[in-house]
Structure 1
Amino acid sequence: MSALAHAGTDNTFGSWVDQMTDWVEGSLGKGIAISFVIVGIIMGVVRQSLMAFAIGVGAALGLIYAPGIINNMFSAVL
């Protein structure tokens, strides 16, 4: 049971996780987030609805905040 309590401390894929986090939190992630917002604006105009814009903004916010949330979820040690 004690191994389950420390499951988030394993560092097997640490370098891969660090690389993905750097990409998402860096200029690549910001570019993708801006693209989400632009596509949301365009789709909102095409569909004449603000929901497409809201989904684009929500996806952008999710992309920006996801690494921190996931890191906090899996780094908690009991």
Structure 2
Amino acid sequence: MFPFTFNSALRFLPAATGTQTRKTPSVEKLLMLALFIGFMFSSMSSMAGAGGTEFTQVYDQITGWANGTLGKTLGVSALLVGLGVGVIKQSVIAAVVAVAMALTAGFGPGVIDGVISSGLTIVTPI
């Protein structure tokens, strides 16, 4: 029986024995640079949901479609098609996908509106 201890585990690690040193690949360096740039500009993107009043009518129209009769019609139609496909394939997965699509159409605009409009307002501009 071989006792497995911390010192015996070090034999299997090349970096621990000093025989081979690990160098950071260029992909990891690029990833770190991209994360740094993303964090650097993240405070500038907090106002992304403000303004754009020229698109308010279009947004209201599309949201009305999704939450109104068109969205309900598409949801019920997807459910019926999903049930039909489920009967043909003898699987309930198509109906589950249809219900998920109807839920996304119903709740999606509200969720997107909440995420986009949750930007922080800068009281004292820099």
2:75 equivalent to 1:50: no
Structure 2: stretches of 5+ with no match in the other structure = 1-40, 121-126
2:50 equivalent to 1:9: yes
Partner of 2:64: 22
Task: Give percent identity, aligned residues only.
Answer: 36
Relative contact order (alpha carbons < 8 A, sep ≥ 6): 1 or 2 greater?
1
SS of residue in 1 equivalent to 2:119 = coil
Q: When the two structures are superposed, what TM-score results if normalisation uses the length of structure 2? A: 0.58
Report which of the two structures shows the higher radius of gyration computed on alpha carbons. Answer: 2
The CA distance in 2 between the partners of 1:10 and 1:37, in whole Å, is 37
Structure 1's consecutive aligned runs of 4 or more residues displaced over 3 angstroms after TM superposition are: none
Q: When the two structures are superposed, what TM-score results if normalisation uses the length of structure 1? A: 0.90
Kindly tell me the number of residue pairs found equivalent between the two proteins.
78
Q: For residues 7-64 of structure 1, what are the alpha-carbon distances to aligned partners after superposition, in whole Å with 9 as ceiling and x for unaligned?
A: 1012232111111001111111110111111111001001100111111111111111
Partner of 1:37: 79
Structure 1: stretches of 5+ with no match in the other structure = none
TM-align CA RMSD: 1.4
Is the helix fraction higher in 1 or 2? 1
